[in-house]
């Protein structure tokens, strides 16, 4: 009975990862939701494993981003997706306190909850720092950990030196992504993040006034992910017509 449940969960996990990949390529919120449903169902079958809780968090995180990218975003739906991601990732780190990518995503999500509010910074700031500390301790050479940490540095940067620090972190993440890509993924192993990392490198170069380097990275991001709306919009803005 246990073996059959594990097999069914594994099939759902595989289907969820395929659905997530398709959703990312098309930047399709409904498909992100479908992927999250697959992972949520699989997690219920394997409640002692962090894998499906992690993937549920990843899918709901991206669904939130997709909703927020719309011209008239449905913020209640985005907030619900954010909370679903947080709940799933908190489950993952309760099961495995050393799950670096779950900690990194939680640090990012709690950082997004602050959104410039002083009281929210007091409430969520310590959680951001705690999850980032755990993420870097357990996954210093993980490309997604490094990439998410770099985006956090970019969002909180106050001057050129801060932007240079964010850029160095994001460029280091890109190198880790390229090293990772040389090896075939293990079952259920994540491989998302490279194109988005390159988009954020482009955004950081823009903050530093280096438009040529920014354009180079936006083009790299779009070569891998043509539906990256941020890279597309920013490249159009800085490219001479």
Give, to the nearest 10 degrees, the angle between helix 194-207 and helix 143-156: 30
How high is the pLDDT of residue 241? 63
pLDDT of residue 35 exceeding 50, the answer is yes
Tell me the average pLDDT across 214-219. Answer: 97
Query: What's the pTM value of the predicted model, to 2 decimals?
Result: 0.93
Is 63 within 8 Å of 33 (Cβ atoms)? yes
Give the CA radius of gyration of the chain: 18
Classify domain 145-241 by CATH number: 1.25.40.10
Tell me the average pLDDT across 117-121. Answer: 75
Is 165 within 8 Å of 153 (Cβ atoms)? yes
Residue 53: name the closest of 80, 11, 13, 25 by CA.
13
How high is the pLDDT of residue 236? 95
Q: What is the pLDDT of residues 155-202, one digit of tens each?
A: 999 999 999 999 999 999 999 999 999 999 999 999 999 999 999 999
With cut-offs at 50, 70 and 90, classify the pLDDT of residue 26.
very high
CA gap 173, 129 in Å, rounded: 19
How high is the pLDDT of residue 115? 77
């Amino acid at each position: 009975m246990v073996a059959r449940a594990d097999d069914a969960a594994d099939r759902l996990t595989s289907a969820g990862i395929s659905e997530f990949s398709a959703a990312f390529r098309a930047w399709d919120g409904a498909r992100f939701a479908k992927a999250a449903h697959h992972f949520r169902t699989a997690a219920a079958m394997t409640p002692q494993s962090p894998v499906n809780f992690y993937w549920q968090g990843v899918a709901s995180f991206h669904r939130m981003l997709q909703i927020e990218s719309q011209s008239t975003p449905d913020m209640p739906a985005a907030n619900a997706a954010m909370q679903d991601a947080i709940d799933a990732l908190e489950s993952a780190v309760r099961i495995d306190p050393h799950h670096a990518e779950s900690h990194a995503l939680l640090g990012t999500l709690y950082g997004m909850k602050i959104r410039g509010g002083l009281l929210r910074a007091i409430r969520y700031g310590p959680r951001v720092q705690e999850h980032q500390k755990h993420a870097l301790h357990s996954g210093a050479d993980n490309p997604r950990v490094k990439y998410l940490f770099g985006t956090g540095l970019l969002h909180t940067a106050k001057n050129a030196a801060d932007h240079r620090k964010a850029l160095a972190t994001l460029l280091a993440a890109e190198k880790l992504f390229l090293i990772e890509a040389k090896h075939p993924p293990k079952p259920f192993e994540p491989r998302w993040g490279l194109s988005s990392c390159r988009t954020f490198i482009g955004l950081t170069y823009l903050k530093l006034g280096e438009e040529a380097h920014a354009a180079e990275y936006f083009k790299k991001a779009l070569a891998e992910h043509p539906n990256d709306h941020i890279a597309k919009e920013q490249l159009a803005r800085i490219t001479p017509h």
